[in-house]
Amino acid sequence: MNGLTAASFGVEFVPGDLFWRTTYYAVQAEKLGFNRIWITDHFNNRNVYVTLALVSTYTSQIGLGPGVTNPYLVHPVMTAQAVASLNEMAPGRIACGIGAGDRTTLDMVGVEQKKPLSAIREAVEIIRGLTSGSGAEFQGEVFRITKGARFRFRVDNPIPIYIGAQGPRMLALAAEVGDGVLINASHPRDIEEAVQHVRKGAEASGKGPKDLAVVAYTSFSVAEDPVRAREAVTPVVAYIVAGCPEVVLSRHGILFVNATKIRDAIVSGKFKDAFSSVTDEMVEAFSISGTPDVCVEKVGRLFKTGVTELVTGSPIGPRIRRSMNLIGSEVIPNFKEGT
Integer Cα distance of 184 and 205 in angstroms? 22
**What distance in Å separates the CA atoms of residue 260 and residue 266, rounded to the nearest whole number?**
10
What pLDDT, on the 0 to 100 scale, is given for residue 108?
84
Does residue 301 have a pLDDT over 80? yes
Task: Give me the pLDDT at residue 202, please.
Answer: 95
Mean pLDDT over residues 226-250, rounded?
A: 93
Average pLDDT over residues 218-228: 98
- pTM check: above 0.75: yes
Instruction: For strands 144-145 and 138-139, give the pairing.
Output: antiparallel
| Lowest-confidence pick of 2-6, 107-111, 253-257, 300-304 | 2-6
Q: Is the pLDDT of residue 6 over 80?
A: no
**pLDDT at residue number 209:** 80
Span 163-190, average pLDDT: 95
Q: What is the per-residue pLDDT for 1? A: 37
pLDDT of residue 3: 41
In angstroms, the first-to-last Cα distance of the chain is 23
Structure-model confidence comparison of residues 3 and 61, the more confident one = 61
Mean pLDDT (the chain) is 93
Do 68 and 79 touch, CB atoms closer than 8 A? Answer: no
Which 3-state string (H, E, C) describes the chain?
CCCCCCCEEEEEECCCCCHHHHHHHHHHHHHHCCCEEEECCCCCCCCHHHHHHHHHHHCCCCEEEECCECCCCCCHHHHHHHHHHHHHHCCCCECEEECCCCHHHHHHCCCCCCCHHHHHHHHHHHHHHHHCCCCCCEECCCCEECCCCCCCCCCCCCCCEEEEECCHHHHHHHHHHCCEEEECCCCHHHHHHHHHHHHHHHHHCCCCHHHCEEEEEEEEEECCCHHHHHHHHHHHHHHHHHCCCHHHHHHCCCCHHHHHHHHHHHHCCCHHHHHHCCCHHHHHHHCEEECHHHHHHHHHHHHCCCCCEEEEEEEECCCHHHHHHHHHHHHHHHHCCCC
Whole-angstrom distance, CA of residue 219 vs CA of residue 215: 13
Q: Which of 253, 221, 223 is nearest to 237 (CA)?
A: 221
pLDDT at residue 243, rounded to an integer: 84
Whether residue 25 has pLDDT greater than 80: yes
Confidence of residue 264 (pLDDT cuts 50, 70, 90): very high
pLDDT at position 337 is: 67
Task: Confirm if 120 and 98 have CB atoms less than 8 A apart.
Answer: yes
Contacts of 260 (CB under 8 A, 6+ apart): none
Q: According to the model, what pLDDT value does residue 263 have?
A: 93
Q: Output the pLDDT for position 4.
A: 42
Given pLDDT bands bounded at 50, 70 and 90, which one contains residue 149?
Answer: confident
pLDDT digits (tens, 9 = 90+) for 118-138: 999 999 999 999 999 877 678
Strand partners, 193: none
Residue 233: predicted pLDDT: 98
As to burial, measured by CB atoms within 10 angstroms (0-12 exposed, 13-18 middle, 19+ buried), residue 73 is: middle
Least confident of 5-14, 57-66, 192-201, 213-222: 5-14
Question: Which residue from 11, 39, 68, 90 is spatially nearest to 323, judged by alpha carbons?
Answer: 11
Q: In the prediction, which pLDDT does 336 show?
A: 78
Q: How confident is the model at residue 2 (pLDDT cuts 50, 70, 90)?
A: very low
* Average of per-residue pLDDT across 152-177: 94
| Confidence check: pLDDT of 295 > 90 | yes
Rounded CA-CA distance 135/148 in Å is 8
> What local confidence, expressed as pLDDT, does residue 247 receive?
86
Q: What is the mean pLDDT of residues 58-71?
A: 97
Residues 130 and 161 sit within 8 Å (Cβ to Cβ): no
Name the amino acid, one letter, at 58: Y
pLDDT value at residue 107: 84
The average pLDDT across 73-84 equals 97
Topology classification of domain 8-335:
TIM Barrel (3.20.20)
Find the mean pLDDT for residues 29-38.
97
